[in-house]
Chains A and B, each alone.
Chain A
Amino acid sequence: GAVVSQHPSRVICKSGTSVKIECRSLDFQATTMFWYRQFPKQSLMLMATSNEGSKATYEQGVEKDKFLINHASLTLSTLTVTSAHPEDSSFYICSASTGVGYGYTFGSGTRLTVV
């Protein structure tokens, strides 16, 4: 079945630095990818939707200049948390789709800790 690889699984960074998280579809082309954020003991909140070759669509309240999303190819999307602060510490999960009506596959998630 479809596999989405998310890397890194865990990252600790210093406040003020930037962190890049990669999401790759390993055996299919993903026209659409989604980035979610999960706060402790809460559900997943959609941050943004990215379509290959176009700008990402951010959900209300998500700072697009802070959470940079790039979907430059059909197999790779990246989320960069810029100038990270402790409040950005969270679990970030991507999911990928081959298009409307097709399946969705989730990555294994990235635990970001900003110290």
Chain B
Amino acid sequence: GNSVTQMEGPVTLSEEAFLTINCTYTATGYPSLFWYVQYPGEGLQLLLKATKADDKGSNKGFEATYRKETTSFHLEKGSVQVSDSAVYFCALSEATGNQFYFGTGTSLTVIP
């Protein structure tokens, strides 16, 4: 079956620190991989995505590379800001379907 395993939080970092949030997946086919961000009290916003192996998704300084050999899609940012404080969800969707499979989410707090 399909599933997403995401590192547990919460994560607290100082401003300008390096961020890594680990995400691994299991899938029966060739999924697309996503990172979504949820700011307090809001819905989910797509942060970045990758649709095939070795693709790198990037947005707002965040990056994640689709690694088929390690079934991973780790989220990284070189220098976090206070405004990055949010919950981050890793997700996958099979190419042949529309359903998403979400990780449990990782709460990030960035302190000045």
0/1 string, B30-67, CB within 8 A of A gives 1? 00000010000111111000000000000000000000
Given A34-B98, A43-B103, do A104 and B43 touch, yes or no (CB 8 Å)? no
Give Cα distance in the complex from A15 to B44, angstroms: 28
Are A107 and B100 in contact, CB atoms less than 8 angstroms apart? no
Are the C-beta atoms of B45 and A34 separated by less than 8 Å?
A: no
Question: Does B102 interact with chain A (Cβ within 8 Å)?
Answer: yes
The residue on B at minimum CB distance from A97 is B98
- Interface footprint category on A: 20 to 34
The answer on a CB contact under 8 Å between A109 and B98 is no
Judged by DSSP, the binding face of A is strand
B99 touches A49 (CB 8 A): yes
Can you list, as one digit per residue, whether each of B79-112 has a CB less than 8 Å from chain A (1) or not (0)? 0000000000100010111111011110100000
Cross-interface CB contact of A106 among B44, B93, B96, B98, cutoff 8 Å: B44
Q: Which residues of B contact A (CB under 8 A)?
A: 36, 41-46, 89, 93, 95-100, 102-105, 107
List the 4 shortest-distance A-B pairs measured between CB atoms, nearest first. Answer: A109-B43, A108-B43, A106-B44, A43-B104
